[in-house]
Amino acid sequence: MKVSILQFPGTNCEYDTQHAFKELGAETEIIWHKSETIPADTNLLVVAGGFSYGDYLRSGAIARFSPVMKAVIAYAKNGGKVLGICNGFQVLTEAGLLPGALKRNENLHFISKHHHLKVINNDNVFLEKLENNSVVNIPIAHHDGNYFIDSDGLQELESNNQILLKYTDANGEIRNPNGSVESIAGVCNKDKNVFGLMPHPERAMELILGSDDGVAMLQGFLK
């Protein structure tokens, strides 16, 4: 299993992501944003979290035009599996690989804490190790995590089982930390090969860090 991880100026989660997948037994490689190709043996491409280009303009808006993104788009359109975490989710929406957009948090504050999530749809490689309606505890750390999509887009997400995760409390009841439409924390594309979420499963790999619920999330990609 080969996991390639993108690195932009300002990315700060690429090494956490690399550590997480190494712990799961995967081979990893970090790819600098000026690369114009993705390694041919890549089984999963991860767009890691952080603050690409300092989050100027909009989060992910400049990274979308990095040289590597042409290869990312081609890789995704050819069926390659892509995971965007936090800023990576923002980059993928800016690139048009995922529906919707990420806005400033409703309370205008940066949020950094553990938060519970409910699994909404597990009929995909990402969450197949988890049961629908199960609840996990995963860190969030974002200023622009307020997921927005219009009513037609939301209906399409629901019809195609593209809503992956929602923010809840420990009992699975909705608890929305940032104003996201329908408390959405993560979505996928129609073909279910491109995934994005604001929470950080790579930071929930060991109980000593507060939770190891990220293990089951990322294990789905390991075949």
Kindly list the catalytic residues: 86, 200, 202
**Are 167 and 142 contacting, i.e. CB atoms less than 8 angstroms apart?**
no
- Tell which phi-psi region holds residue 24, choosing left (phi > 0), alpha (psi between -120 and 50) or beta: alpha
Cα 36 to chain centroid, rounded: 22
Tokens found for residue 78: 């050819």
- Taking residue 217's Cβ as centre, other Cβ atoms within 10 Å add up to 27
Long-range contacts of 19-25 (CB under 8 A, 24+ apart): 19/202, 19/205, 20/201, 20/202, 20/205, 20/214, 20/218, 21/46, 21/202, 21/218, 23/205, 24/215, 24/218, 24/219, 24/222, 25/1, 25/222
